[in-house]
């Protein structure tokens, strides 16, 4: 049994497998299928300062090797989370991380401040990359000044571990990652969904109510790997890689490209037990390759020059 522990700045995870926000509810939804205490971390549904109803149905389209979603951050707001959900999930022996989103900088700051008071939330993931909200979200994550404004403001009020979730809908993701590092983020997670679209040829209508939505699943894995590699070569803070990871081999590929930990997202919809299989598969890989720690894999891609 190899050592699966990893460090994300000051945050130690028992293993490098986390669940991606918006694909795992609050964890409880999966309690019938897996032991949640075995996960490295659970990143809960995107949380905003106020209640959000999300977008109209239809919010989902199946696409080749993936899916589009346009949920639009449906959630009951941070106060509801703190009062009703946090007490139910705080006992899990897994890092509970809250994904924080907003329309304006002040909302991100207010939400992060409230979460900072919770003992069992060691980190937040700052979502500056949601493609499904009209204001804010991705707008912050697609320009360096936008990213800087929200990250620096949240950093001032949030003393815990700050993970910044990056958008792939940019020309140069390394630039945005550098801004996150410079503004004091403890880590970056990438990638959020790629902006996409589905059309019904028979009805001549868009499939999603919002016309465009976020593409996820194995279809985006090559893009995600490329971006993790580019960011790994640009910054020093840890990277949490995600985008189409379906099994342990996919996870290993992300480590080799530069990720310290990974998140599993869309795969949870197809196999609610996939996270545990990935943890076991990583362990098996490490044993097979005579590696003592998963940390040895980060950035270990062998590039012939």
Partner 1 sequence: MKKYIKDLQVVNKQILSAEYYLLELSSNQPLPEVLPGQFAEVEITGSDATFLRRPLSVHDVDYDKNTISFLVQIVGKGTKHLANIEVGKILNVIFPLGKGFELIKSSENALLIGGGCGIAPLLYLARHLKKQGVKVSTLIGVRRSSQLIELDNYKKYGDVLITTEDGSEGTKGYVVNHPVFENLKQYKKIYTCGPEVMMKAIAKRANESRVDCEVSLENMMACGIGACLCCVTETTEGNKCVCTEGPVFNIHNLKWQI
Question: Considering the rule CB under 8 A, would residue 269 count as an interface residue with partner 1?
Answer: yes
Q: C-beta of 23: minimal distance to partner 1 in Å?
A: 6
Q: Which of 131, 161, 170 shows the shortest CA–CA distance to 13? A: 161
Question: Considering the rule CB under 8 A, would residue 152 count as an interface residue with partner 1?
Answer: no
DSSP 135: S
Helix (H, G, I), strand (E, B) or coil at 75: strand
> Cα–Cα distance between 23 and 224 in angstroms, integer?
17
Q: C-beta of 35: minimal distance to partner 1 in Å?
A: 14
Q: C-beta of 200: minimal distance to partner 1 in Å?
A: 12
Question: Considering the rule CB under 8 A, would residue 212 count as an interface residue with partner 1?
Answer: no
Question: Considering the rule CB under 8 A, would residue 221 count as an interface residue with partner 1?
Answer: no
Question: Within positions 227 to 266, which residues make up the interface with partner 1, using CB under 8 A?
Answer: 266
Q: Which is nearer to partner 1, 27 or 141 (CB)?
A: 27
Burial class of residue 130, CB neighbours in 10 A (0-12, 13-18, 19+):
buried
Say how many residues touch partner 1, by CB under 8 A: 34
Question: Considering the rule CB under 8 A, would residue 57 count as an interface residue with partner 1?
Answer: yes
Strand order in the sheet with 60-63: 60-63, 66-69, 212-216, 194-197
Single out the residue of 5, 50, 54, 148 in contact with partner 1 (rule: CB under 8 A): 54
Q: Which is nearer to partner 1, 57 or 236 (CB)?
A: 57
Alpha helices in the chain (DSSP H): 78-80, 86-89, 105-116, 138-141, 144-157, 173-182, 221-232, 248-257, 267-270, 274-288
Single out the residue of 127, 187, 268, 298 in contact with partner 1 (rule: CB under 8 A): 268
> Cα–Cα distance between 41 and 148 in angstroms, integer?
26
Single out the residue of 5, 33, 116, 299 in contact with partner 1 (rule: CB under 8 A): 33
Q: Are 180 and 164 a contacting pair, CB within 8 Å? A: yes
Angle between the 248-257 and 221-232 helix axes, to the nearest 10 degrees?
Answer: 30
> Cα–Cα distance between 91 and 121 in angstroms, integer?
11
Non-local CB neighbours of 236 within 8 Å, separated by 6+ positions: 181
130 is catalytic: yes
Single out the residue of 15, 47, 48, 69 in contact with partner 1 (rule: CB under 8 A): 69
Question: Considering the rule CB under 8 A, would residue 35 count as an interface residue with partner 1?
Answer: no
Among 70, 73, 130, 235, which one carries the catalytic annotation? 130
Q: C-beta of 17: minimal distance to partner 1 in Å?
A: 16
Question: Considering the rule CB under 8 A, would residue 122 count as an interface residue with partner 1?
Answer: no
Q: Tokens 């696409």 belong to which residue?
A: 63
> Cα–Cα distance between 25 and 268 in angstroms, integer?
10
Q: C-beta of 216: minimal distance to partner 1 in Å?
A: 10
Catalytic residue list? 130
**Residues contributing to the site for partner 1 (CB under 8 A):** 22-25, 29-30, 32-33, 45, 53-54, 56-67, 69, 71, 74, 217, 266, 268-273
């Amino acid at each position: 049994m190899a050592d699966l522990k990893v460090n994300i700045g000051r945050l130690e995870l028992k293993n490098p497998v986390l669940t991606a926000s918006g694909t795992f509810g609050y964890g409880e939804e999966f309690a019938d299928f897996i032991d949640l205490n075995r996960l490295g971390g659970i990143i809960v549904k995107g949380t905003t300062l106020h209640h959000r109803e999300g977008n109209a149905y239809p919010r989902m389209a199946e696409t080749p090797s993936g899916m589009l979603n346009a949920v639009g951050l449906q959630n009951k707001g941070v106060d509801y989370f703190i009062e009703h959900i946090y007490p139910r999930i705080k006992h899990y022996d897994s890092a509970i991380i809250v994904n924080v989103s907003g329309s304006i900088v002040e909302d991100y700051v207010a939400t992060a401040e409230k979460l900072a008071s919770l003992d069992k939330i060691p980190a937040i993931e700052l979502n500056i990359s949601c493609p499904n909200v009209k204001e804010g979200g991705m707008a912050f994550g697609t320009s360096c000044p936008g990213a800087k404004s929200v990250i620096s403001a949240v950093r001032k009020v949030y003393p815990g571990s700050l993970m910044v979730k990056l958008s792939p809908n940019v020309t140069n993701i390394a630039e945005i990652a550098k801004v996150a590092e410079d503004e004091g983020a403890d880590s970056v997670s990438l990638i959020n969904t790629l902006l996409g679209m589905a059309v019904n040829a028979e009805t001549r209508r868009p499939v999603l109510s919002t016309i465009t939505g976020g593409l996820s699943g194995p279809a985006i894995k090559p893009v995600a790997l490329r971006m993790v590699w580019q960011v790994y070569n640009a910054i020093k803070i840890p990277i949490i890689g995600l985008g189409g990871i379906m099994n342990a081999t996919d996870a290993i590929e992300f480590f080799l490209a530069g990720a310290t930990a990974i998140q599993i997202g869309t795969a949870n919809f197809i196999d609610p037990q996939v996270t545990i299989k990935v943890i076991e598969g990583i362990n098996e890989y490490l044993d097979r390759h005579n590696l003592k720690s998963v940390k040895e894999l980060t950035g270990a891609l062998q590039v012939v020059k």
